[in-house]
Amino acid sequence: MDAFVTQALLVCIGAGLGVIGYFLKALHRDIKEGSARTDEKISMVERDFMEFKAELPRTFVMKDDYIRTIASFDLKLDSMDKKMDTLMGRRNDDR
């Protein structure tokens, strides 16, 4: 009777280890699939971010660039204003 109990116990332990092994394999497979999906999503986000970085200079103007452009435009307007004042002064002198 003692041998029968020992063999039954060994069979139960073996079956339990087999079930645990099966679930561990399934868990490992699910983790690998989840990791693959996560890697794919990360690569999509990276691609979208790179497209955003490429589009950014065409869509937005940096503050320093804006200030530089406006300063240049102001200088040109001041130059035109001086020229027009000079022309208007000459025109008034001719009369």
Q: Residue 28's closest CA among 17, 18, 20?
A: 20
For 45, half-sphere exposure in the C-beta direction (CA atoms, 13 angstrom radius) is 6
Q: What is the pLDDT of residues 3-16, one digit of tens each?
A: 888 999 999 999 99
Q: What are the structure tokens assigned to 68, written together?
A: 């530089």
pLDDT at 95 over 70: no
The pLDDT value given to residue 45:
97
Q: What is the pLDDT of residues 52-89, one digit of tens each?
A: 998 888 878 888 888 999 999 999 999 999 999 888 88
Domain boundaries, the chain: 1-60, 61-95
Distance of alpha carbon 59 from alpha carbon 8, whole angstroms: 74
Between the two ends of the chain, the Cα-to-Cα distance in Å is 137
